[in-house]
Every structure is written in C-alpha cells, then in structure tokens.
Structure 1
Amino acid sequence: MSDRELSTLLEDSFERYLQDKGKGRGGDGGNYRRNAARELERFAEWAAGDRGDDDWTGTVPDDVDREPTFGDLDERVFREYARHLAGDRGLKQNTVQTYYRYLSAWCGWCVNEGYLEAHYAQRASAMAPLPEDDGRKPGDQQAWTSKQRHALTRYVDKRARDAIETYTTLPEEVDPLDKQRVRYTALKATRDRALVFVLAYTAVRVGELLRDPNDPRRRGVRWEDISLEDGSMDVYRKKQQWDAASLPDPVISPLRSYRKLMEPPTERWPVFPTFDQRTLATLVQDELADRGEHPDTIDERRDEFARDLLLALEEDVRLPLITTDGARSVLQRLSDAAEIDIDHPKHDYLAPHGGRRGMGEVLVRAFGYTVAARYLDNSEEMVRERYSHIEAGELGDVATEALNEVDSNV
C-alpha cells in the first residue's frame, strides 16, 4: 500500500462503503446501511480508545496525537475487537457474530479498494475470541401459534364488527361531528383488523407490506396493488423486485369491508395509512397551503372535520403508510388489549415476523417444504433450515413407530 493509503483515516472510507452497500438512488437507504453504519461508528470509537476496557487506549500509539488510520490495522487489532465484543455481557452469542460480520464485510471491501493488504478480520487468529454461532438470527424466532393467531384475529374481528355496527346504525339526526368520530373509530378498527389478517395469513414480510423509512423503494402497498377479485397483492420482495403474493380467503373480507368504509379517493391511496394525529395535522396543513389555501381557510376546513384523516380523504391529501416500527406498535397495543398469553424471551407481544413464521409452520406441516417455500417466497433449502424442528419431530415419530413395531415382534 502507498503511504497515502496507510495514512487514510478509517472514517474517510465509511461513506463510500455505505453507498456501495446501500439501496435506492445514491445508496442512501436500506436497513443494512443503517446497521452497518452504527457498527462502523462503534469500531471507530473503540479504535480511538473511546470504548473498551480501562486498559485499552486504542490503536494509535500513546505518544501520537491523531485519529486511527489504516496503517494502524492488522489481525491483532481485529482480534482485540472480537474479544471486546465477546466480553460485552449484554450481547448474545449470535448478536456478537452479527456485529462482527458487519465489520468483516467492511474489511473485505477495504482490501478490494486498496486500503488494506489483507482481510485481517477473517483470519483464524482474529476470529478466535468470537463465541460459537448458535445458528439463530436475533429476534427472528417467534412464531404465532394457532391459538395465538385465532385469539388475535377473533379479537380484532369483533372489535371491527362492533365499530362498523355502531357507525351504520347511528340515527339520522346525530351531530355531523359525532358521526365523523364514530366513523373514524370504525376506520381505525377495520384498518387494524385488515393489517392483522394480512400479517397472520399471507406470510408477507412486514417490510414488503409497509413503509420502510430506510429504503425509499419500499413505499408500502397501495390499493392499486391489490386485486380482491383475483386474491393477489403486488409487493416489493426481498429479492429486489415486484412480485404477486397470495391473498387467501380469510383476508379478502376484512380488506373489502375496510375499503368500503374508507372509500379511498384514488387507487394510489395507501392501504394502511398512519393514524398519528400529529403527523396528519402537519401534512394536511402543509398540503392545503401548497395548494394555495389561506391559513384561515385551512383552519376553517379543519374545524369541519373531527379528525384530519377524514379531511385528507375528502381532499385527497395522500397520506404516508405506517412504518414497520408503527406496525410493531399496533401489534403491541392489540396483543395487550386481547390479553394474549405470550411466552417469548425477546417479545412480550405478537411481533409481525411471528405471523409469517407461524404461517410457515402451518404450510410445512400441511403441504411440505416445497409448497411452503413457494408461498413464503424463499428457497426450499432456507425453509428446511428454518423449520428443521418439524422434520426432526416427524423423524422422531417414524423412529418411535419403528421401535414399537420391532418391540411387538420380540
């Protein structure tokens, strides 16, 4: 390497690397970019001596006043960082492995770009302090059981039915604002029901269904993407392309009822918009102002509606979808309200990915790995790995049956 490359600050490479690994125009989006950026910043702080044990002073010699450079890196440094991660008692084994993989990927990129002579992070001596990987992905193990799925769907279904009945049976002389409040309650209940049913029965990834603020291409599903007649929904898949997902029968009625109540002004309206009042208030005011409305006129219009969501529907002010984090908040609220019994080390509610995994369990048991892989939009190899416990149980049953047959002939 040249002297210039050896003297390059570590942080000077981060933005180029993140752009290469990011998604969307300019590489500015994507969960990987966000997570990798966080870990690289932690590594830079550690290398500067700002993290770690009291006796760790960083990679720069004590008598030198500068930030860490590539000339300071070797396999010993990566070994010390692996030991630092493994020594953090708050991190699980698989989490340590995940954090180190972010750093290792950056190290490999640096070799290709000429910043480093060798992939030090992948050397056996550097990786020796890492704990063994237990093969699990952090937070990706919850699966809704049939009992939990039925409990949640029954709860949101009854809640939506009651809200719709209250709205449709209002007397004609009721105050218009009171009627709007009841309609708003029904809209929220039917949106929640539709969201739960889609997550519970379609096995679509929550990031394919809703808005991901870290990936501009994942803008979420609009009504134009859904065909209730065909039972299909177009989503932006994990494999970076649009594809059709199936809408099984249990999902059709909740979506149809929700759409009828919402009456979206155009097909480009979001299926699952945010109901956050602060967000909606700002959006409605800004949009109407951009259309040339006077502030006093905007205030008067807002006073005519019980909620800004209803004004947005009336004026076709297109709303953003709820985010993936927003969906988690919705499910946490509904899980608590439904008083569902949940025993999981990480989640005290029915998390979105648990709906997908729960549906995968059903499909593998009923139709096998090949059909389940097609429905889950995964390779059969991946599905076999994720649901290997099912095959193990089935093989155990076969072994038991074989032993019983042999024992009966003794």
Structure 2
Amino acid sequence: MTPGTPRNRSDETLAGSFERYLQDKGKGRGGDGGNYRRNAARELERFAEWAAGNRGDDWTGIIPDDVDRDPTFEDLDERVFREYARHLAGDRGLKQNTVQTYYRYISAWCGWCVNEGYLEAHYAQRASAMAPLPEDDGRKPGDQQAWTSAQRHALTRHVDERARDAVEAYTTLPEDTDPIDKQRARYAALKAARDRALVFVLAYTAVRVGELLRDPNDPRRRGVRWEDLSLNDGSMDVYRKKQQWDAASLPDPVISPLRSYRKLMDPSTERWPVFPTFDQRTLAGLVQNELEDRGERPESITERRDEYARDLLLALDEDIRPPSITTDGARSILQRLSEAAEIDIDHPKHDYLAPHGGRRGMGEVLVRAFGYTVAARYLDNSEEMVRERYSHIEAGELGDVATEALDEIEPRSRG
C-alpha cells in the first residue's frame, strides 16, 4: 500500500490510531518515552474528547445526535479541523502561540494518518481548516526554544557528576589493572569529559553550534581546535556567521571543564579538534587508512589495533587526527543527555535541549542582567536584532514601569 491510500477503515475509532502514532514518535524501546510523546498524547486525548462531545457544555461532538458511536475517520474532514481550530482559538485561557502549538500536535497526527492510509488528505493543513487560528506573530514558536535556568542547571549538573564519576573511576584504578581495562576506563572518562565540556560551552558561551563544530558542507567550518582556545585569557577563536574569524568569550564556568578535559585527552598537537567524533566506524576507517598510508602492513595494523580497547586511543598515541563532531552529532548527544538527565521539556518541536536553546537561554540572562547593548556584543548580533528576538523582556519591564506609575499616581483607585 502506498502512502495516502485509504485503508477503508471508516469504522475505526480515532483513539485506535493514537497508540501506533505515539509509538512512532516516542523515544526508547517500544517508543514509550519522550516529552513529545507525552505532550502529543495529552492533546490527542483532548481532541478525541472534543470530537465525541465530552466537554461538559452544549457541544455534542462531530457525529449526528441520533448516532450512538465514537467518532471514526469517516467523520473527519477539513470542516472538523476548522471547528477544532475555532474551539482552541476561542479558549480565552490560551495564549496565541499556545493555540498554534496545540493545533500543531493534532495536525502532525493528521499528517501521519495520511501516510498510514487512515485519511485520504491532510485536512488539518488546508487553508480553510487553519483560518480560525490566530495569525502568526512572526515568533515561529518551533524555533524559539530557550534553556531555562532550571534546565541549564539540571543538564550541567548531570554531565558534571557523570564526568567526575568517570574520571575518578579511571584515575583510581589499581596499578595492576589489566591494560585493556584501563584503556576502557580512560575512554569512558574521555567521552564523559567531552560531553561535559560541550554542554558547558553551549550553555554559557552563546556561541552558535555551527561556529563550534564541523559542517560537512562548508570546509571552513572544521570545528574548533585546541589551538583556537586560550584558557588563560578566557577566549576562543571561531568562524562567525558573518564569514570571518572572531574571538568569543569563555566565561568562568566553562574553563574548568575544558582544562580537565584537555589534561585527560593530552593531545599530541594543538591541531586536534576540541570535540572529536567518537563514532567507532569513522575512527576505524580513519586509523586503517592512515596507518596504510604510513606504510604499515595489514597484519601489523591489525596487531596495533588489537592492542587498544578503542581506535580513538590509538589515534591519540599516533596523532591521527579525527574530524570534529558535526552539528547533527551535537544534537544527538544532547538528545541522549537530556533523556538521561530526565529533564522536563515542554516544547512543540524539540523533546530535548537543542543546541540553539543554550544560546537563546544565555541571551535571556544577558539581556535581563546587562541590557540589550551588552547582550548584542556577547551574542555577536546587532542590537536591533537582539531587541526584536527578546522583545518579550522589554514588554515585561515596561509593564512593571506602568504598574509602578499607577501605584504612584492612582494608589487609592487601584485598592
């Protein structure tokens, strides 16, 4: 069956498809986890209750009054989704962007139903269905994630504890530990220390992830190397979005994780990437090819690789420089760490702490603490752009000014 071909399941209830959809969108074994799954399940349940008329008001649902059954896919068309959009938009307790977010959960399910053959068309995305929704205010909620202070602290605390435990486990091994076991412990410590350093840099420097890591489509963006960092001065050279090299600040919280990580890695040259890939397939091919190019015989290469628990450790000893992780690799790391840290995330697009959210979160901190001018310099943006992107902060501050003015001028009338 090709996508979009109806399954002729006109008598199947809407709720009957929810579990399959949520499993496809969920995380972990069986698709049982993930914040997106939890949030989508909540909105699908609300949609099903609305469609069945179980709202506790005069609304009777989408099926005729004289029909005694649950709604099925046969009952769905663009008019139904239009009415649901009107229902969401009419809820005075929901903000404009929240209405858009809730509708997107239902729209995503509708699109999945088309691909799975439950529906013949994506009714929820038709213009007439979406017409009652509030107009887009230009904020693009799907791109607006910003790490909150609680999320930033939870993630940095998790990676810090994880790295401390791994480094301690490695550095306190008995002297008679088997060499391979010692290498495994070092590798685990290196990976945990790299992840900690990456998280701290993303959380506190506000550097764009594309400036920090490798972009396979742009050879100029090869990822920062140790030679680009000056830990004593607290600075890092990055290739900026404006197509030129520039110095970015490394605040105090970042220095210690980077120092500890560098000491553990002990790269043979400063040209090593700060955040190398740990992908075994990539490293295996890299080591194999480099040693062949150096004239070693295949059997000798096999023997050398067998001496190491991981090819990364051989690469360190032989100065075979691996590539930096990519921006996609960073997203995968943050997905893994966000889930491991069990961080509560309620966002329509990301069910993990995405890299750009660290930059936006730091921008929030800077604007509130020092104003737009200082924040713009730190974020490497124009002040005009920073004011636009963080306009909600100024609006809140102006609201406080208005409240103070009313308290001063009209204290009695506001009692």
Asked if Structure 1 and Structure 2 have the same fold, meaning a TM-score greater than 0.5 normalized by the shorter chain, the answer is yes
Residue pairs, 1:235-254, within 5 angstroms: 235-254=238-257
The 2-side partners of 1:153 and 1:226 are apart by 21
Determine the structure 1 residue equivalent to 2:96.
Answer: none
Determine the structure 2 residue equivalent to 1:179.
Answer: 182
Q: What SS does the aligned partner of 1:342 have?
A: coil
The 1-side partners of 2:267 and 2:218 are apart by 25
Structure 1 residues 90 and 244: alpha-carbon distance in aligned structure 2, compared to 1, 3 A threshold = farther
Determine the structure 1 residue equivalent to 2:262.
Answer: 259
Q: Say whether residues 1:201 and 2:200 are aligned partners.
A: no
Residue pairs, 1:333-348, within 5 angstroms: 333-348=336-351
Residue pairs, 1:124-273, within 5 angstroms: 134-137=137-140, 139-273=142-276
Q: What's the TM-score, normalizing by structure 2? A: 0.67
Aligned mate of 1:363, from 351, 363, 366: 366
Determine the structure 1 residue equivalent to 2:387.
Answer: 384
The 1-side partners of 2:177 and 2:269 are apart by 29
Counterpart amino acid of residue 208 in structure 1: E
Q: What SS does the aligned partner of 2:238 have?
A: strand
Structure 1 residues 92 and 377: alpha-carbon distance in aligned structure 2, compared to 1, 3 A threshold = farther
The 2-side partners of 1:329 and 1:345 are apart by 18
Q: Say whether residues 1:326 and 2:329 are aligned partners.
A: yes
Structure 1 residues 230 and 90: alpha-carbon distance in aligned structure 2, compared to 1, 3 A threshold = farther
Q: What SS does the aligned partner of 2:215 have?
A: coil
The 1-side partners of 2:266 and 2:123 are apart by 53
The 1-side partners of 2:125 and 2:289 are apart by 44
The 2-side partners of 1:237 and 1:328 are apart by 20
The 2-side partners of 1:267 and 1:299 are apart by 28
Aligned mate of 1:310, from 309, 313, 319: 313
Determine the structure 1 residue equivalent to 2:396.
Answer: 393
| Deviation string, structure 1 residues 263-307 (Cα, Å, up to 9, x no partner) | 011000000000001111111101111111101000000000000
The 1-side partners of 2:255 and 2:122 are apart by 48
Structure 1 residues 409 and 248: alpha-carbon distance in aligned structure 2, compared to 1, 3 A threshold = same
Identity of aligned residues (%): 85
Shift of 1:409: 5.0
Shift of 1:134: 3.2
Do the aligned partners of 2:142 and 2:348 also contact (CA within 8 Å) in 1? no
Q: What SS does the aligned partner of 1:383 have?
A: helix
The 1-side partners of 2:276 and 2:402 are apart by 51
Aligned mate of 1:374, from 349, 372, 377: 377
Higher RCO structure, 1 or 2 (CA under 8 Å, sep 6+):
2
Aligned residues: 288
Aligned mate of 2:279, from 261, 276, 281: 276
Shift of 1:330: 0.1
Structure 1 residues 223 and 90: alpha-carbon distance in aligned structure 2, compared to 1, 3 A threshold = farther
Question: Structure 2 stretches of 5 or more lacking a match?
Answer: 1-120, 128-133
Determine the structure 2 residue equivalent to 1:354.
Answer: 357
Shift of 1:135: 1.4
Determine the structure 1 residue equivalent to 2:27.
Answer: none
Counterpart amino acid of residue 244 in structure 1: A
Q: What SS does the aligned partner of 1:313 have?
A: helix
| Deviation string, structure 1 residues 304-347 (Cα, Å, up to 9, x no partner) | 00000000000000100000000000000000000000000000
The 2-side partners of 1:137 and 1:199 are apart by 22
Root-mean-square deviation (CA), in Å?
Answer: 1.9
Counterpart amino acid of residue 384 in structure 2: E
The 1-side partners of 2:376 and 2:411 are apart by 39
Counterpart amino acid of residue 301 in structure 1: R
The 2-side partners of 1:323 and 1:88 are apart by 34
Residue pairs, 1:23-42, within 5 angstroms: none
Shift of 1:401: 1.6
Q: What SS does the aligned partner of 1:218 have?
A: strand
Counterpart amino acid of residue 172 in structure 1: E
Do the aligned partners of 2:235 and 2:250 also contact (CA within 8 Å) in 1? yes
Structure 1 residues 351 and 168: alpha-carbon distance in aligned structure 2, compared to 1, 3 A threshold = same
Structure 1 residues 299 and 92: alpha-carbon distance in aligned structure 2, compared to 1, 3 A threshold = farther
Shift of 1:237: 0.1
The 2-side partners of 1:226 and 1:89 are apart by 52
| Deviation string, structure 1 residues 77-102 (Cα, Å, up to 9, x no partner) | xxxxxxxxxx9767799xxxxxxxxx
Question: Structure 1 stretches of 5 or more lacking a match?
Answer: 1-86, 94-130
Shift of 1:399: 1.0
Structure 1 residues 335 and 90: alpha-carbon distance in aligned structure 2, compared to 1, 3 A threshold = farther
| Deviation string, structure 1 residues 213-234 (Cα, Å, up to 9, x no partner) | 1111111100000000000000
Structure 1 residues 313 and 342: alpha-carbon distance in aligned structure 2, compared to 1, 3 A threshold = same
Do the aligned partners of 2:287 and 2:311 also contact (CA within 8 Å) in 1? yes
Do the aligned partners of 2:231 and 2:255 also contact (CA within 8 Å) in 1? yes
Shift of 1:405: 2.2
Aligned mate of 1:290, from 290, 293, 296: 293
Structure 1 residues 363 and 180: alpha-carbon distance in aligned structure 2, compared to 1, 3 A threshold = same
Determine the structure 2 residue equivalent to 1:114.
Answer: none
Which stretch has the larger CA shift, 146-155 or 392-401? 392-401
The 1-side partners of 2:150 and 2:409 are apart by 37
Q: What SS does the aligned partner of 2:301 have?
A: helix
Counterpart amino acid of residue 162 in structure 2: R
Shift of 1:137: 4.5
Structure 1 residues 169 and 225: alpha-carbon distance in aligned structure 2, compared to 1, 3 A threshold = same
Which stretch has the larger CA shift, 344-353 or 131-140? 131-140
